[in-house]
Structure 1
Amino acid sequence: MNDETKFLLKRIAFYSVVFTFVIWVVLPLIVAILYAFSSKLDYYDPSKIIPTHFTKEYVQIILFTLGAWDGIKNSVIVALITILISFALGVPAGYAIAKFVFPAKDTLKLSIVALRMFPIPVMAIPLVVLYIRLRLVDTLLGVALAHTAMALPFVVLITSSIFAGVSKEYEEAAMVFGLTRLGSFLKITLPLALPGLAAAAMFTFVMSWNEVFVASVLTLYHRTLPAQILSIMAGSSGGAAPDYYRFAAAFIMTIPAMIFIFFARKYLISMWGITLK
């Protein structure tokens, strides 16, 4: 087998893997979108794989009649608050871990990761009792604080890795020219770390957007979208919602997160040195 044949086979294998991965990710989205707008007759017609008659009825019912639209607004607010608090606490902690040497540094990093070892359902009852005493039950701030506790360890570790990749010589040079440490951080380190911080923000947003257990336990009237969808599906037809309602709910759950990632993707991709036009 000559070199050209080996090269061709490697390219075929590579593109086959890429094609399989793309299909694995994209196909469920296509199916969810198609059947979210499919008519009931097309959905239950065994002779049709791809629907030909479409309706907005089921999406509109879930959005406006059953309250998913309010869930979307609540989810966005909770996710933004989670990002804000996580970054306010996690970015300074990540910077300190990356740039300073202090006793038990590795132990501290391990302890941060260990915070995620406790299953959320085990802490549900103590968390509800604590929230009742603090009057945070059924509030968006309470859900955001719980999501922050879940996301903060990862934000600290991600940001510490990002800041560790920024050479300290840049900050030292900036301080030689008159900037304070805070000024050198804001004008030198932070812009260089921005793509990585955007990636951490995307992770935090998606984690908060998809989280359902805490939001279901802590809220009743001010539910996030996943908790609202769960309530709709459980409360429909004795816990067995029709499949076309489930596809409509999947579509509603997926699209806002995809829109957020679409606008933030250039920061994530530029983290690997790729530029989007």
Structure 2
Amino acid sequence: MNQETKFMLKRLAFYAFIFTVVAWIVIPIIISTLYGFALPKDYYDPKKVIPTSFTIKYVKTLLFTLGALDGIKNSVIVALITIAISFAFGIPAGYAVAKFIFPGKDTIKLSIVALRMFPIPVMAIPLVILYIKLNLIDTLLGVALAHTAMALPFVVLITSSIFAGVSTELEEAGMVFGLTRLGSFFRITLPLALPGLAAAAMFTFVMSWNEVFVASILTLSHRTLPAQILSIMAGASGGAAPDYYKFAAAFIMILPAITFIFFARKYLVTMWGITLK
């Protein structure tokens, strides 16, 4: 086998891999979108692969009758609070890990990652008891604090890698011209790190938006969208919702997250560029 054939086979394998990954992500989105508005007669018809008759009835029912719209509002509020708290603690921690040398630095970085090794279901009962004592049960702030505990380790690691990619010489030059270290951070380092911080915000938003277990056990009347959808599906007659509600719920779940990622995607690309320099 000559070199040209090997090169072509490698390219073919690479493109096949990329196509598989893209199909794995895109096909469920397309199916959820099409069947979320399709009439039941279309997707129960074995002769039809792509539906041709559509309705907004089931999406409207989920949004306005079964409470999914309130779940969307709660999810957005929880995600924004999670981002704010995660950044308030994660940015200073990430900057310290990236820019300073101190005893136990590697141990601390490993401990941050190790926080994710404890499964949340194991801590469910103690968490509920703690929240009851703190009067945080069935509150959006309580859910946001739990999501912050889940997202904060990744925010610290992402921001530390971004800050490490910002040249220390630029900060030192700013301090030479009269800036304090804090002023140098806000005027030089932070603007350069904004694309990476936007990517960290995107990750935190998606994590908070998709999380269902904590939101389900900590809330009853103020549920986020995943917990509300789970409650609707489980509360259907016979314990299983009709398929048309499942597809409509899938569409409602993915649309806001995809919209957020669409507007933040350029920052993610910029972040990789900064990190790889």
Q: Same fold (TM over 0.5)?
A: yes
> Separation in 2 of the partners of 1:273 and 1:108?
27
> Separation in 1 of the partners of 2:238 and 2:128?
27
Residue aligning to 2:79: 79
Residue deviations 1:82-141, cap 9 Å, x none?
A: 000000001001111111111111111122222222211111111111111111111101
> Separation in 1 of the partners of 2:5 and 2:227?
54
Residue aligning to 1:183: 183
Q: State the shift of 1:238 in Å.
A: 2.5
After TM superposition, the structure 1 = structure 2 runs for residues 125-144 of structure 1, keeping only pairs within 5 Å, are 125-144=125-144
Q: State the shift of 1:233 in Å.
A: 0.3
TM-score w.r.t. length of structure 2:
0.95
User: Amino acid of the residue matched to residue 145 of structure 1?
Assistant: L
Residue deviations 1:28-48, cap 9 Å, x none?
A: 111111111110111211111
After TM superposition, the structure 1 = structure 2 runs for residues 57-68 of structure 1, keeping only pairs within 5 Å, are 57-68=57-68
1:265 equivalenced with 2:269 (yes/no): no
TM-score w.r.t. length of structure 1:
0.95
SS in 2 for 1:173: helix
Deviates more, 1:11-20 or 1:175-184: 11-20
SS in 2 for 1:207: helix
SS in 2 for 1:271: helix
> Separation in 1 of the partners of 2:97 and 2:11?
42
Residue deviations 1:213-233, cap 9 Å, x none?
A: 000000000000000000000
> Separation in 2 of the partners of 1:114 and 1:139?
28
User: Amino acid of the residue matched to residue 182 of structure 1?
Assistant: L
Q: State the shift of 1:10 in Å.
A: 3.8
1:124 equivalenced with 2:124 (yes/no): yes
After TM superposition, the structure 1 = structure 2 runs for residues 23-102 of structure 1, keeping only pairs within 5 Å, are 23-102=23-102
Question: Contact 2:71–2:223 at 8 Å: present in 1 too?
Answer: yes
> Separation in 2 of the partners of 1:250 and 1:46?
22
User: Amino acid of the residue matched to residue 159 of structure 1?
Assistant: T
Deviates more, 1:202-211 or 1:115-124: 115-124
Residue aligning to 2:241: 241
Q: State the shift of 1:2 in Å.
A: 5.6
User: Amino acid of the residue matched to residue 105 of structure 1?
Assistant: K
Gap regions ≥5 residues in structure 1: none
Question: How many residues are aligned here?
Answer: 274
> Separation in 2 of the partners of 1:212 and 1:187?
39
Q: State the shift of 1:12 in Å.
A: 3.2
Q: Identity over the aligned pairs, expressed in percent?
A: 80
SS in 1 for 2:272: coil
SS in 2 for 1:102: coil
User: Amino acid of the residue matched to residue 258 of structure 2?
Assistant: M
Alignment RMSD: 1.5
> Separation in 2 of the partners of 1:215 and 1:9?
48
After TM superposition, the structure 1 = structure 2 runs for residues 102-181 of structure 1, keeping only pairs within 5 Å, are 102-181=102-181
Q: State the shift of 1:5 in Å.
A: 4.7
Gap regions ≥5 residues in structure 2: none
User: Amino acid of the residue matched to residue 90 of structure 1?
Assistant: G
Question: Contact 2:162–2:271 at 8 Å: present in 1 too?
Answer: no
> Separation in 1 of the partners of 2:226 and 2:233?
10
> Separation in 2 of the partners of 1:48 and 1:241?
22
Deviates more, 1:103-112 or 1:168-177: 103-112
> Separation in 2 of the partners of 1:46 and 1:8?
40
Residue aligning to 2:16: 16
Residue deviations 1:195-253, cap 9 Å, x none?
A: 11111111111110000000000000000000000000000123211111111101000
Question: Contact 2:151–2:204 at 8 Å: present in 1 too?
Answer: yes
